[in-house]
Structure 1
Amino acid sequence: MTDTATTTSGTWRELLGPKNLGASTVLAGGVALYATNEFLTISLLPSAVAEIGGQRLYAWVTTVYLVASVIAATTVSATLARLGPRWSYLAGLTVFGLGSLMCAVAPTMEFLLAGRTVQGAAGGMIAGLGYAVINSALPQSLWTKASALVSAMWGVGTLLGPAAGGLFAQFGSWRWAFGALVVLTAIITALVPFALPARTREPPRTRDRIPVWSLLLLGFAALAISVAGIPRNIGWTAALLVIGASLVGAFIVVDRRATAAVLPPTAFRPGPLKWIYLTLGMLMAATMVDMYVPYFGQRLAHLVPVAAGFLGVALAIGWTIGEIVSASVTSQRAIVRTVAVAPLVMSGGLMLAAVSQVDDASVGVIAIWVVALLITGVGIGMAWPHLSAWAMGCVDDPGEGGRAAAAINTVQLICGAFGAGLAGVVVNATDAGGATPARWLFAAFAVLAALGVVASIKSGSRTGRSTP
């Protein structure tokens, strides 16, 4: 690696040009559907409960969605190998549309939970396919920019979800929000036959089974971690987090030895892939601080709910800006250094947020919060597209490329669940009123992000030869 080393990279015009626009729209649109739906429901839920009841099941609307998503994400590689990109997407989008329709017509909370489970299963599949199909639908020179585009849809979902949910809820039309998802799903489904290839470019595998044991362990881990933020008793919360962490440890042991596995074998060998996944996971976990931004915006700055919701969008905007700018970098040395410092940038933003949390915050203080969240988002955005491309390109066996790509989404989901659980623990343990829990929350997650710098440095140790 030298100062003048550069990567072969396509342009944004090429990615979004006539030849690749259809594939780019389907890949990005599927992830946008999943992400928007996740945040949309949070805004709609109070209105839904007021109409159909089910207050005792309030937290499970998110829990069942997340657990179903994690489980479905582990089947992406096997499904893609059996059905190919085109039919995998058609199946996932069709089921997602059915789940959205179930939510739209739900007469009871139990029925809504069933619809959310269907949505989560299909959504986890679609989100995983968004990464896994990149190396089949697009040329290698566009992988980094395509990864940036797909990942940026999480930011788009964070922006559109609360806004659209708030508007539908304000006008008493929460059911129509799910109806709109059905229409959008149908539009993307209509593009799939024209945009995606029928088969992958990878060599056919004779045995590609669904990783049942890995799937079960990840599912129960996600369930334990998701529920950990619910109890008010810190002992129960800590116990659930320990159970979740133990199940993830058992997953690693089982997955390493299993014939049908979630992670590619390369992840368990010497090399950067395991560090790439760990960096992705640490950054994703740290972003879950955003769940409490609207809450503290109302509590400390006395913002109205809509304004507090948009305060949390600052992180998503920073993420999107960081992705777009970073994906345009071509110098390999600059890319490696960018990824290496990304956790520290994120940590700096979170620490600025921590020290600026005060009661009765003024407009000036709110502006500091916005800047801090923007910096936090830039931190994850500047690393994400390159880490995603590295994960797809640094496997030992080209046939592992699809599994390596699909595992990105699995790592993202499970680490997001860990982050959500940790956020609940910190807030519940320190909430004595005022700004204290907000300070502890942002400070704890600043430390979590900073710990990722070790993995981020190791991620770029041998990726230069394989980065598209």
Structure 2
Amino acid sequence: MDSQRDLGSWREMAEHWRTVVVLAGGVLVGAVNIYLAASLLPTAVEEIGGERLYAWTATAFLVAQVVATLSVARLLSVRGAIASYVIGFAVFVVGSLLCAASPAMVVLLIGRGIQGLGAGLLTGLGFALIHSALPRPLWVLGSAVISAMFGIGNFVGPALGGLFAQFGSWRAAFVVLAAVAALIAALVPRALPAGERRAAQPVPVASLLLMLVAAAGVSVAGILDNPVLMAAVLAAVVATFVAFVVSERRAHHRILPHATYQRRSPLLWVYLSIMLLASGVAVETFLPLFGQRLGGLVPVAAGFLGAALSFGWSASQILVSSARSQQLIRRLRVAGPLLMAGGFAVLGLLQIQDAPLPVVIAWLPILVLAGAGIGIAMPHLSVAAMTSVTDPDEGQKAAAAVAIVLTMSTALGAAIAGLLVNLGGASLPTSARYLLYGFAAIAAIGVLTALRVNKLTTASPPGVTNPPTDPRKHLPRNRKQQMSRT
């Protein structure tokens, strides 16, 4: 028998518009900033110099973002929701204004690091507070809106950055970003519950250090030109991740929820599925290049290829977030990576030198469909993470960990994409095929992890995918409570 999930409507969602604007807006400014900065930096370098430090602007941002995302649970426990969000927006505004005022590349690097701290806090808070700031029936819709902000940022950022760069106003772009963040921050006191403050949790030092080493390794791999050296660094990153898992399993205080490491919990498989899906976004970095050099498109038209993947991701999330049938939800989790793998594989077949215009035009709907593979699965995987534990604190940590996984998977995907393109050597069609076939294989692995998620969640009652580890904690205290439950 197919159970139905208790799901709110978009009309109910509109009643919480301030909360949605704050949660989604915080994620959006961070996502826009990544691609905005990439578009602006060439212009900034012409003015302030520092070309040798160019690649490190992304590294500074990424490492700082990971540090901040890992700190969300601790910040919430000490400061509560409102103060945490105000801190996140304030840090992001300070970093943006420092970037705008940078007289030299070193100062810009510092500003990018501060921006990364703010963006990491806002991204982590956005996912963590779905659990407490929105009613449970709105979790799926909230997850869909917030996750869609990554896709929207992927095509708004370059367009906005290109517009400001065109007029030589790269500093003004950072000022505008700071102003938008400040406006959203003004809604925070009326949009969020204050949240209960608790004693600060001990910092899981070993796990945190291993995650930082992995983040730094991914960043370094992404800027290397030698494929062998890049592969060696990525292998070291994988070894660091393994050490992280071992450390987390043995530790008393962890970054990820305890249920992640329980045998019958779907949480580990949920995170792996999210990582395998989200890493595929790295493909869009090279799509404008392929469009120009293989398809003969002008830069503006080639830019739409990069935006097509993100558009498919964002639009499909909104369309499927209203799914109520548990059977349909299970199918969407599997269909997502399957659609993405098929889209990349077909697109790989169409990568030829001097491709005819009809072939190039066919790339666009294929990319939209491949992006839709992320969108149809992502909100349901995010909610699966939140409902995989019964303890509210662990549920908040499970939700916040989605942001950690997304941040790391995007960075890891970028490094893998660089490696695959480099393997193609001087032949651009070969590089394009390696890239697309490689990520098709990665997405195909996601089919297997999604099937594992479905198997583990089907075994549990609807709405509770990971039964309590200690049933005695959930037994009624007396006969009266037992009768009231029945």
TM-score scaled to structure 1, two decimals?
0.96
Match of 2:398 among 404, 415, 437: 404
Is residue 261 of structure 1 aligned with residue 259 of structure 2?
Answer: no
Counterpart of 1:140?
A: 136
Amino acid at match of 2:313: W
3-state SS of paired residue (2:428): coil
Q: Deviation at 1:188? A: 0.6
3-state SS of paired residue (1:383): helix
Alpha-carbon distance between aligned partners in 2 of 1:211 and 1:389, rounded to the nearest angstrom: 25
Match of 1:218 among 211, 233, 238: 211
Identity of aligned residues (%): 46
Counterpart of 1:92?
A: 88
Alpha-carbon distance between aligned partners in 2 of 1:76 and 1:31, rounded to the nearest angstrom: 14
Give the direction of change, closer, same or farther, for the CA distance of 1:275–1:154 in structure 2 (3 Å limit): same
Match of 2:78 among 62, 78, 82: 82
What does the per-residue CA deviation read over 1:51-99, in whole Å, with 9 as the maximum and x for residues that have no partner?
1111111111111111111111111111111111111100000000000
Match of 1:109 among 98, 105, 121: 105
Counterpart of 1:293?
A: 287
Alpha-carbon distance between aligned partners in 2 of 1:410 and 1:331, rounded to the nearest angstrom: 29
Is this contact kept in 2: 1:339–1:456, CA < 8 A? yes
Amino acid at match of 1:130: G
Is residue 370 of structure 1 aligned with residue 364 of structure 2?
Answer: yes
Amino acid at match of 2:188: V
Counterpart of 1:434?
A: 428
| Root-mean-square deviation (Å) | 1.5
Match of 1:236 among 201, 222, 229: 229
Runs of 4+ in 1 over 4 A off after TM superposition: 204-207
What does the per-residue CA deviation read over 1:179-200, in whole Å, with 9 as the maximum and x for residues that have no partner?
1111101101100011011105
Counterpart of 2:5?
A: 7
Amino acid at match of 2:424: T
Counterpart of 1:44?
A: 40
Is this contact kept in 2: 1:341–1:456, CA < 8 A? no
Alpha-carbon distance between aligned partners in 2 of 1:149 and 1:467, rounded to the nearest angstrom: 23
The correspondence of residues 315-464 of structure 1 with structure 2, limited to 5 A, is 315-463=309-457
Deviates more, 1:416-425 or 1:138-147: 416-425
What does the per-residue CA deviation read over 1:125-144, in whole Å, with 9 as the maximum and x for residues that have no partner?
10011100011111001000
Is this contact kept in 1: 2:271–2:405, CA < 8 A? yes
Is residue 199 of structure 1 aligned with residue 195 of structure 2?
Answer: yes
The correspondence of residues 265-276 of structure 1 with structure 2, limited to 5 A, is 265-269=258-262, 270-276=264-270
Q: Deviation at 1:207? A: 5.6
Is this contact kept in 2: 1:166–1:306, CA < 8 A? no
Is this contact kept in 1: 2:78–2:200, CA < 8 A? no
Counterpart of 2:171?
A: 175
Amino acid at match of 1:466: G
Is this contact kept in 1: 2:9–2:138, CA < 8 A? yes
Counterpart of 1:16?
A: 14
What does the per-residue CA deviation read over 1:296-346, in whole Å, with 9 as the maximum and x for residues that have no partner?
222222333333222211011100122012111111111111112211111
- Between Structure 1 and Structure 2, how many residues are aligned? 461
Amino acid at match of 2:278: M
Is this contact kept in 1: 2:77–2:200, CA < 8 A? no
Q: Deviation at 1:353? A: 1.3
What does the per-residue CA deviation read over 1:95-143, in whole Å, with 9 as the maximum and x for residues that have no partner?
0000000111111111111000000111011001110001111100100
Is residue 54 of structure 1 aligned with residue 28 of structure 2?
Answer: no
The correspondence of residues 279-290 of structure 1 with structure 2, limited to 5 A, is 279-290=273-284
TM-score scaled to structure 2, two decimals?
0.92
- Who wins on radius of gyration, i.e. which is larger? 2
Amino acid at match of 1:410: I
Counterpart of 2:475?
A: none
Q: Deviation at 1:211? A: 2.7
Q: Deviation at 1:347? A: 0.3
Amino acid at match of 1:288: A
Amino acid at match of 1:16: A
Q: Deviation at 1:366? A: 2.0
Is this contact kept in 1: 2:389–2:464, CA < 8 A? no
Counterpart of 1:466?
A: 463
Amino acid at match of 2:221: A
Gaps of 5+ in 2: 466-486
Q: Deviation at 1:170? A: 0.5
Q: Deviation at 1:393? A: 1.0
